[in-house]
Amino acid sequence: MLSINLIGAILVGLGGLVGYIKSGSLPSLGAGLTFAILIAIGDVLKGSEKTNFWTKFVFVTWAILALLMGFRFVSSWKFMPAGLMTVISITMTMINFSLMNG
């Protein structure tokens, strides 16, 4: 079964792909796939860890994505895609914070 982080990583990757298809934006594709891969790798590896390194790695990756998309949203005030990704990223950051400290 897919974890919430893997589902989020798929959404981020698909978002980058849609950005590329709709407007030809290579930065959207690159950022979307990079963050999706980092989150997926961290999520898969955190299952086999004895420390919290990969859990913290996934948390920090979501937090960085939330900051980047938050800045984009504030500069454009367009909900799609920056606002939606900000909401998703903040939500995932909070979920991972609770997993890290729970």
pTM of the model: 0.91
Compute the 3-state secondary structure of the chain and give helix, strand, coil in percent, each to the nearest 5. 85, 0, 15
Torsion 29-35-37-40 (CA) sign: negative
Q: What is the CA radius of gyration of the chain?
A: 14
Residue 11 pLDDT greater than 80, yes or no: yes
Tokens matching residue 38: 């980092």
User: What does the pLDDT look like over 30-66, one tens digit per residue?
Assistant: 999 999 999 999 999 987 777 789 999 999 999 999 9
